[in-house]
Amino acid sequence: MDTAKVTIFEVAQRAGVSIKTVSRVINREPNVRDATRVRVEQAVNELNYRPDQSARNLASQKSHLIGLVYDDPAAYELPSSGYIIRLQEGALRACRASMHELLIHPCDFRQRTVASELRAFIRDTRLAGVVLAAPLSNMQKIVRAVQATGTPFVRVSPGKPVRNQPCVLTNDREASAQMVDHLASLGHRRIAFIKGDPDHEAVRHRFDGFVAGMQRNGLKVEARLVRDGDNAFATGAAQAQLLLERKLRPTAIFAANDDMAAGILRTAGKLGLSVPHGLSVAGFDDIILARQLDPNLTTIRQPLARMAESAVTMLTGNIKGERTVLETIPAALQIRESTGPVSE
């Protein structure tokens, strides 16, 4: 069948129900029997039916658009696309399941007019709801701008939950402590840490986890082995240079994200240090690059796609009156070639 001409009437005929019932199933309305819902969804899939979004919005006097608002990668010298791609992947999956459409919106929080522009974007597009990705999710001027529109929203990785503000978290702190456990189990005692961008509150938890992991393994956190970073490749490379030029250099360096860890690997190579035999390197996030580096990067997989999917599911559920305010999805260690036993 020509999918461009498939109508709601044809879906109703295939499922053996009324047009109104098809509409109620598509809009995820309650009080539809499970067997009927299954029949309608099967007909939708068989016919590859896509509802007319404009007509749908006009009929309901509200949009069926979900907005994914994230930090504008164009503001960075070397932007990492992996973060946004994985967020979109999860958000799209949940939008398809709930018969919503996804509208992505990069937002540069550094601009003075960001709050007014965000309010105008939400109102002009008549969004049904907003998913706020980190670091925007923990910035009060951004959160207040969304609140001012009265639009439902869910925050992803806001750093810490706020009462009555729906959010999806991961266990950055504990996952970082587990990475220290791994390094300590390999015999490392002088472990350095490169911090992430201070604007990313959730990323700051990774340093807290590093400290907790060092303490529970009976290791001292040496101030000279803790360096400030900003999540960028160049920063990882530069800070690694300072750390590795020390007379008593670290045997392992743990970076708060994979981009900086990649910079560490670059510097180690320039200095003739073998990884992992001369230096162990670990990151956080498990971006695509982590598996393409040589050696493959030991890191922590942040479940971004699952978090975004959960955020959209929570959001569409809350729109329908199903009140959910918090979900935590754990991160997981990915042990690869860049970490090994200390050679001393």
> What confidence category does residue 52 fall into, taking pLDDT thresholds of 50, 70 and 90?
low
Q: Cα–chain-centroid distance for residue 238? A: 26
pLDDT, mean of residues 44-68: 70
pLDDT of residue 316: 92
pLDDT of residue 1: 43
CB 106 within 8 A of CB 320: no
The Cα 84–Cα 132 span in angstroms is 12
The Cα 208–Cα 172 span in angstroms is 9
pLDDT of residue 274: 95
- With H, G, I as helix, E, B as strand and everything else as coil, classify residue 168: strand
CA distances from 159 to 25, 156, 170, 199, 301 (A): 36, 9, 9, 11, 17
Q: Is 65-170+304-329's fold the same as 172-302's? A: yes
Phi, psi of 189 (to 5 degrees): -120, -35
Q: Tokens 């796609």: give the residue.
A: 305
38-42, 101-105, 191-195, 340-344: range with highest mean pLDDT: 191-195
pLDDT of residue 22: 83
| pLDDT of 298 over the 80 cut | yes
CB 116 within 8 A of CB 149: no
What pLDDT, in 10s, does the model give residues 58-87?
Answer: 445 556 899 999 987 766 655 566 778 889
pLDDT of residue 2: 47
More confident position, 226 or 318: 226
pLDDT of residue 325: 85
pLDDT of residue 84: 84
> What confidence category does residue 266 fall into, taking pLDDT thresholds of 50, 70 and 90?
very high
> What CATH class is the domain 172-302?
alpha beta
Q: The dihedral of CA 165, 168, 174, 176: what is its sign?
A: negative
What pLDDT, in 10s, does the model give residues 16-29?
Answer: 988 888 877 876 66
Sequence ranges of the domains in the chain? 3-51, 65-170+304-329, 172-302
Token digits for 87? 């967020």
> What confidence category does residue 57 fall into, taking pLDDT thresholds of 50, 70 and 90?
low
> What CATH class is the domain 65-170+304-329?
alpha beta
User: Span 3-51: which CATH code?
Assistant: 1.10.260.40
User: Considering the chain, what is the average pLDDT of its residues?
Assistant: 88
- What number of CA atoms fall less than 13 Å from residue 338's CA on the CB side? 30
pLDDT, mean of residues 48-65: 62
Say if strands 332-334 and 299-301 run parallel, antiparallel, or are unpaired: antiparallel
pLDDT, mean of residues 172-197: 96
Task: Give the DSSP letter of residue 298.
Answer: B
Over the range 207-239, which residues count as b (16 or more CB within 10 Å of their CB) and which as e? bebbbbbbeebebebeeebbbebbbbbebbbbb
pLDDT of residue 4: 53
> What confidence category does residue 322 fall into, taking pLDDT thresholds of 50, 70 and 90?
confident
